[in-house]
Structure 1
Amino acid sequence: MDICTTYRHKLRDEQVNSAPHLRSTTLIATLEISPPLAAILALSELCATSDAGTMFELVKALNEGANSLRRNSSNPISLNAGCELFIAFVTLFPHDSVPSAVRADPHCEFEAIIEFAEKIIPHRQALTYRTKIAELSVDFIKDDSVILTHSYSRVVMESLLLAHRRSKRISVFVTEARPRGLGLKTAEALTAAGIPCTVILDSAVAYAMEKVDFVLVGSEAVVESGGLINAIGSLNIAIIAKAANKPFYALAESYKFHRLFPLSQYDLPSHNPGILSFPSPVETDRAAEKASSSASSESRSAPGAPLSSSITQEQIAQNNPDVDYTRPDLISLVFSDVGSLTPSGVSQYLVGMFH
């Protein structure tokens, strides 16, 4: 099977009916499945269809499948969390609990592993985790709250919409979240629901912070230090919120908890040498010549017209990161389906989860 195709299929808003052992996981077909859960489902299907004859071969196939998913993803951080979770449970599977008659047949034992994973890994309940988190966080949203959120997060949307349905008067500042501009998607959804919403520039966060009661963001992953990996700009917002003494809350499903301990932005798996790189002198000269030629052509063809820039938004986006790392000392609480945790509580939970 092509695990990348399977992963993309799971990521879409469709029912998971491709394998009999996965049918029970399809509870809410209309909800988008997040990358870590899609990775878990793809690896589970790989496990079910594998022709491996031993556990060693199965774990090797799962690691190869996970590596393939990472190579074919521009931002593998989130799906990494799902891959690590599933492979850890397969590796730590209590084989002694399987009857000896079943252990004699590798495929029967693999089925037992899948059944075990179904109970431990949040397959059945995962699609309801956002609702659990919303129920937990909505108590922190008071009447007349002014909230700042960043980019687009399904779990944040769930929380804000729940607060609105419970007749809580809220107003929301939403950042543009360049380069992807997903803040506009959030603003459109909130406006359609009747929630007062204003889009602000990413550079206007400090200006707006005095009006804000607290910050509410989603996550790509929550790491072992208790820190947060999220859309680029989250760190800036957290620093400004800390300076203004405003709470900074993160919402994250437990399958986004990731055994990663970054010490800086450059320890993230998504970082590469091309990010924030300076062009070589040759590239600079070529860009200057192109700009000069374009300016001359522009001035000849349309006198008085504004000169076109030689630097495009696409070029800027390619030279900048998609995500950043927010330190745990900047985070007030992490709301998850396992409860409201401090950053140190996240560390303790991660240790226990992989023990």
Structure 2
Amino acid sequence: MSEPSTNDKPRHPFDVYEAYRRIMVDEEISPPLAAILTLTELMENSTGESTPMAANLFVSFLVLVAGTMFELVKALNDGAEVLKARSSNPISLNAGCELFIAFVTLFPHDSVSFTDLKAKLVRQGQQYAAEALAYRKKIAELAVGFIKDGSLILTHSYSRVVMQTLLLAHERKRISVFVTEARPRGLGIKTAEALTAAGIPTTVILDSAVAYVMEKVDFVLVGSEAVVESGGLINAVGSNQMAIIAKAANKPFYALAESYKFHRLFPLSQYDLPNHNSRIFSFPRPKSSPLTGSKQVPTSPSSSDPPEETSSSGVAPVTITQEQISQNNPDVDYTRPDLISLVFSDVGSLTPEGVSQYLVGMFAG
């Protein structure tokens, strides 16, 4: 029996989403960087054959076939679509995908062969991700210059770059921090625990107490999921109302964002965000309607079922869980650029208008 030829060997599919999840295990790597590293792996695993590529957005497997630049860019776009389809909050990772695909598209094609070009792109992607891990330190150094000794700071949820900035400020100055609970994810508790462990005076406040404490604080400092083309901010839900209150109280509202979170997106309202869906703030259908007079038909309980508790009116009490509340609420919201004082980034301290100008230049090559 003859040996199978090289062309008959099966192509091993690459699980894009599983690679992304594996990379995200490292807490130092944010979603945009994880997306860049995932697409770099995808490119590294692509073959040199020039036949059609198959992608399944449901199981996230890609048969990687890229023998030309056109096919390679198509493979990267398909991989990005898989990541967006599988993620509940694709905004931040999409910024990384967009940046990397633009880089690949604009990269000078002066290599001797396509294989050589692809190898260069893989090295460049890995090198960029490694260098980008230092961006937080650069931002922290920049932002600390705006923090005066004795400052009382209000922050929201949990952000790696905000944490690094506050810890650096604590080494050089006296600061105190109010941090919100940040429902529904409750990540403000994580921030408070880390700051308290570092010796920073920290108090957790209710999300509903932001207006109450705003008169006491010197400024607001938040992280970001993405900074969009208008200069507006997408961040953990609650950031928008915090910015509105800060503006009314004439307090600076500062955002910290690595440049790989700059995103060519132009939302006009909360409902333009890519992760908005009909489930958010929806009203559940009642089991019975007093308007139509329809009633729930009782079912005969089995002998093993415990008796259902009822109120004095004979109606079973309604229980609303934290999980139900979380599912019916957004994870992020959009803050308009006119509410933001400055955006501190690895490319400098920018006004919202400056972010727009930088984005135009970044994607123009």
TM-score range, shorter chain: 0.7 to 0.9
**1:281 positional shift:** 4.3
Residue type of the partner of 2:18?
T
CA distance 1:223–1:298, change in 2 (3 Å): same
Alignment of 1:106-121 (within 5 A): 106-117=114-125
**Take 2:356 and 2:126, find their aligned partners in 1: how far apart are those partners?**
24
Residue type of the partner of 1:90?
V
**Take 2:354 and 2:288, find their aligned partners in 1: how far apart are those partners?**
48
Matched, 1:139 2:145: yes
Residue type of the partner of 1:80?
N
**1:114 positional shift:** 2.6
Alignment of 1:335-354 (within 5 A): 335-354=344-363
1:124 aligns with: 130
Q: Structure 2 stretches of 5 or more lacking a match?
A: 1-13, 48-65, 298-305
For the Cα contact (< 8 Å) 2:176–2:200, is it kept in 1? yes
CA distance 1:284–1:189, change in 2 (3 Å): farther
**1:64 positional shift:** 1.0
2:164 aligns with: 158
**Take 1:236 and 1:354, find their aligned partners in 2: how far apart are those partners?**
31
For the Cα contact (< 8 Å) 2:214–2:249, is it kept in 1? yes
**1:283 positional shift:** 7.3
Q: Which is further off, 53-62 or 247-256?
A: 53-62
**Take 2:308 and 2:76, find their aligned partners in 1: how far apart are those partners?**
57
Residue type of the partner of 1:112?
K
* TM-score relative to the length of structure 1: 0.85
Bigger Rg, which one: 2
SS state of the match for residue 222, structure 1?
Answer: strand
For the Cα contact (< 8 Å) 1:221–1:230, is it kept in 2? yes
**1:116 positional shift:** 4.5
For the Cα contact (< 8 Å) 2:37–2:125, is it kept in 1? no
Alignment of 1:96-115 (within 5 A): 97-98=110-111, 102-103=112-113, 106-115=114-123
Greater helix fraction, Structure 1 or Structure 2: 1
1:208 aligns with: 213
2:99 aligns with: 85
1:37 aligns with: 33
Residue type of the partner of 1:6?
A
Structure 1: 4+ residue segments shifted above 4 A: 116-119, 281-285
Q: CA offsets per residue over residues 15-39 of structure 1, 9 Å max, x none?
A: xxxxxxxxxxxxxxxx610000000
Q: CA offsets per residue over residues 42-87 of structure 1, 9 Å max, x none?
A: 1011111111111111111111111111111110000000000011
SS state of the match for residue 297, structure 1?
Answer: coil
Residue type of the partner of 2:19?
T
1:16 aligns with: none
2:323 aligns with: 314
**Take 1:283 and 1:331, find their aligned partners in 2: how far apart are those partners?**
46
Residue type of the partner of 2:152?
V
For this pair of structures, how many residues does the alignment match?
318
Q: CA offsets per residue over residues 284-334 of structure 1, 9 Å max, x none?
A: 78xx979xxx9972769xxxxxx9751111111111110000000000000
**1:90 positional shift:** 1.0
Alignment of 1:230-241 (within 5 A): 230-241=235-246
For the Cα contact (< 8 Å) 1:295–1:308, is it kept in 2? no
2:223 aligns with: 218
1:4 aligns with: 17
Matched, 1:61 2:75: yes
* TM-score relative to the length of structure 2: 0.83
Residue type of the partner of 1:177?
A
**Take 1:135 and 1:185, find their aligned partners in 2: how far apart are those partners?**
23
**Take 2:155 and 2:38, find their aligned partners in 1: how far apart are those partners?**
31
Q: CA offsets per residue over residues 197-248 of structure 1, 9 Å max, x none?
A: 1110000000000001000000000000000000000000000000000000
SS state of the match for residue 145, structure 2?
Answer: helix
Residue type of the partner of 1:163?
A
Residue type of the partner of 1:41?
L
SS state of the match for residue 211, structure 1?
Answer: coil
For the Cα contact (< 8 Å) 1:90–1:117, is it kept in 2? no
For the Cα contact (< 8 Å) 1:89–1:117, is it kept in 2? no
Residue type of the partner of 2:262?
F
For the Cα contact (< 8 Å) 1:134–1:158, is it kept in 2? yes
2:86 aligns with: 72
**Take 2:284 and 2:273, find their aligned partners in 1: how far apart are those partners?**
23
Q: CA offsets per residue over residues 167-224 of structure 1, 9 Å max, x none?
A: x111100001001100001110011001001110000000000001000000000000
The alignment's C-alpha RMSD in Å is 2.2
For the Cα contact (< 8 Å) 1:230–1:324, is it kept in 2? yes
**1:117 positional shift:** 4.2
